Chains A and B, each alone.
Chain A
Amino acid sequence: MIWKKSETDEASAQAQSPSQGPPAPLPRSAPQAVKEHALIGPTIEIKGNLGGDEDLLVEGQIEGKIELRQHSVTIGKSGRVRADIHGRTIVVQGEVHGNLYGEEQIVLRQTSTVRGNLLAPRVTLEDGSNFKGSIDMTAGNATATLVSQASGVNAKAPQNSQLEKAADKI
């Protein structure tokens, strides 16, 4: 099943922990940061195209295409994906065979295995990640640059049209 997981649910669960006493009431003016994401559990296998309007965490297996250009896509440690992935931010901790297109950023964690090409204004690559493929650092008219984990310096993002133009070249 695909589970909905809400960050505010987790936050309120922690707040109601008996060890911390009765929960303090939230001020009315406090922003209610509800950020839901869909979870594809470790026993789920999907073949086909995946799209939607929310963030996604994949711990299962997907074969096909993932298209969530305005949302973050996270491939968890047990996630196994054979697909091109389009997302706003893409974080990989598990295994991906396919090209990654990040509107804002791609992050390859130390535990990741990736075979494919990366295209994004910013790419964070942790040492130890098993990556084989290409990284396009120009994205069209060279407005985009790329950073590693060490620097943490932000780069100027390319326009979408530039990103798509560069993506076509891959």
Chain B
Amino acid sequence: MTRPIVQDTPPQPSVYKSLGLSTLLRFLRDDRKHTILDLGPALGANVEFWARHQCRLYIEDFYRDFTARAAEENEEEPKGANLADLMPFNDETSFDIVLTWDLFNYLNLAQLESLVRHVSHFCKPGAALFALISSQPDIPDQPTVFRILDTERMAYETRTQTTRPCPRHQPRELAKAMGLFQVSSSFLLRNGIQEYVFVRG
């Protein structure tokens, strides 16, 4: 259920220093081309950022398709088994970095596990996955938009003033759902959100 937030002004983008992003960028090497999977929406700033590196960027806008699928199935949420259909990559695809942003806060553990299992299939050992997990009781009703400003700073912007309960995935549950991905680094932000960098074993 969604609950309205009482706000006098519309939400403004906030800028913060992202240690998770800095850590993630250490996985990039100058001597090779990288393949990035961005599960968020297409944003000019992020495309521009990755353009400075040698990489091929896949943009999936997963949550848009996820909610559209749920509407088609006339269910509140699509079944976990169907999530792989939303991203039909060919077998030659291999990602070095996966950006999930705060998507995991909008999935239950079964859905999260299904998504990660599918993505793992297209990642070699050593691939990194970036996620932001909230420990707050409520989260915006839709995923937050994150724009990479530079190698250390990101801006985030909520596009809705309503909230929904946060699943508050616990570290132990999360570790189990992440399957082959293991926590490499994590950073707790002041706003109760934790940045995670996972590495595929």
Contacts and interface: CB of A to CB of B under 8 A. Distances in A.
Contacts of B77: none
A95 B60 CA distance: 17
A132 interface: yes
Interface stretch (B17-25, B48-56, B171-179, B185-193): B48-56
A137 B57 CA distance: 8
A153 to B, nearest CB: 9
Contact of B45 (A135, A137, A146, A148): A148
B95 to A, nearest CB: 11
Interface residues of A, number: 25
A150 B147 CA distance: 12
Contacts of A150: 44-45, 48
Interface range for B: 20 to 34
B32 to A, nearest CB: 10
B44 A146 contact: no
Nearest to B52: A145
Contacts of B84: none
A138 interface: yes
Interface in A115-158: 123-127, 129-138, 142, 145-151, 155
Interface of B: 33, 42-45, 47-48, 50-61, 64-65
7 contacts: A127-B44, A134-B56, A142-B33, A142-B54, A146-B47, A146-B51, A149-B44
